[in-house]
Structure 1
Amino acid sequence: MPPTLVLIRHAQAIHNINRANHALRDPSLTDLGHRQSAELREHLRAHFPADRKVQLIVTSPMRRALQTALVALDWLVNSGVPVLYPKPCDTGTSAAQLATEFPAIDFSALDPVYPDKTSAASAAYRYKKGAVLARGQSALADLYERAEDVVIVVSHSGFLRTAVAGRWFANADYRVFDFVSREGKDEEEPYRLVEWDLTRGKGGMGRSEEGVVEFGEGLPGL
């Protein structure tokens, strides 16, 4: 049986304050972002069902996601829940440097092409509709095969919204999903998720916009 997914958008980072900061490479969390992560930590500890066991954390390679994970989920990391960093989804810092900065995270599964996004080898990670949608399906396919009870994923609003969940995510908010059963379905049928009532609407923290988003909406052409 595939795992339940807890999808988290990273907390506020420097580039979220001002569009001029979008030129910054791999921006860190703001002070507010650190506070949001701490609030998320307390909320999850108090409200996530006690009978469900988080057994894996998967995080984006970007600093803002790594920092969010290590603040909001430190209680899980400290208890021995493994943290993986499998696939790049934005332009960031080299794995060697990040491994030094974040020793609690396992970078062994990271694609060696990271953080390159310009060469032919990095075509799968480009910001194009086809590449983003394929990346979302690849991530869901990998997660579907996991044996864990609950997997937490710390990622980015655009990727989660347009390629994974079709929902809006505010900074440091989360939504919980189960996979739609694939029993009797063709292998080409896309992976889909169904959201828990616990977070449906405005998200678990109540910060997110309501509504369903069509996969690929707003992404540049193929």
Structure 2
Amino acid sequence: MPPTLVLIRHAQAIHNVDRANHFFPDPSLTDLGRQQSAELREHLKAHLPADREMQLIVVSPMRRAVQTCLIALDWLIDSGVPVVPDARWQENYPKPCDTGSPAPELAAEFPGIDFSGLDPVYPDKTSPAGAAYRYEKGAILARGQSALADLYKRTEDVILVVSHSGFMRTAVAGQWFHNADYRIFDFVDREGKGEDEPYKLVEWALTRGKGGMGRSNEVVVEFGEGLP
């Protein structure tokens, strides 16, 4: 049986406060973002299903996602749950605020996380080498399918993913995510389906609507909506 996914959006970062801050490269969390992460931590500890095992954390390598992960999920990390940075879960856009930092820089800043397995092309998303991460509908949808395909094949019971609103909304879940909010999904059964059949998710009733924290927009989004 494929794993259940807990999809989490990072908490508030500097660029979320003012569009003028979009020129900040790979921005950090604000003080409110750190508070939101701490609130999310306590909520998840109380509300994640007690009869399920949280066995893996996948995180976007972008600074705000890693910071959210280390605050909100420290209790799982301290218990031995591994953290795997994955470039496929980064944000869509090529703006400075949505472009990550080089792996050596991240490794120095977050020594408790192993970035050695990160796609060596990261954070490039504009050159031919970074074509898989381009801000183009086809590339983003393919990236979403690639990320889901890998998780579908894993054997963990529950996998938590810390990522970004734009990517999860347009290429993974078709749902909005407020800062530091989350949604829980199972994979749609693929029995009898061909290899070219897209991977799809169905949301748990527990988070359906406004998300687990009750902060998210309820509007369902068509995959690829708004992408060039």
Q: TM-score interval w.r.t. the shorter chain?
A: over 0.9
Runs of 4 or more, structure 1, over 3 Å off, are none
Matched-pair contact (CA < 8 Å) for 1:83–1:104:
no
Gaps of 5+ in 1: none
Aligned to 1:9: 9
SS in 2 for 1:140: helix
Aligned to 1:155: 163
Aligned to 2:18: 18
Matched-pair contact (CA < 8 Å) for 1:10–1:155:
yes
Q: How many residues align?
A: 220
Provide TM-score, normalisation by structure 2: 0.95
Of stretches 111-120 and 54-63 in structure 1, the one that deviates more from structure 2 is: 111-120
SS in 1 for 2:87: coil
Structure 1: distance between partners of 2:178 and 2:86 = 23
Aligned to 1:205: 213
Q: Within 5 A, what are the aligned runs for 1:139-178?
A: 139-178=147-186
Structure 2: distance between partners of 1:104 and 1:2 = 28
Aligned to 2:121: 113
Structure 1: distance between partners of 2:159 and 2:176 = 19
Matched-pair contact (CA < 8 Å) for 1:163–1:215:
yes
1:219 to 220, 223, 227: 227
Q: How much has 1:97 moved relative to structure 2?
A: 1.0
Q: Percent identity?
A: 77
2:143 to 135, 139, 146: 135
Provide the alpha-carbon RMSD of the alignment: 0.8
Structure 2: distance between partners of 1:11 and 1:188 = 34
Matched-pair contact (CA < 8 Å) for 2:126–2:133:
no
Gaps of 5+ in 2: 92-98
Structure 1: distance between partners of 2:125 and 2:50 = 41
Q: How much has 1:106 moved relative to structure 2?
A: 2.1
Aligned to 1:182: 190
Provide TM-score, normalisation by structure 1: 0.97
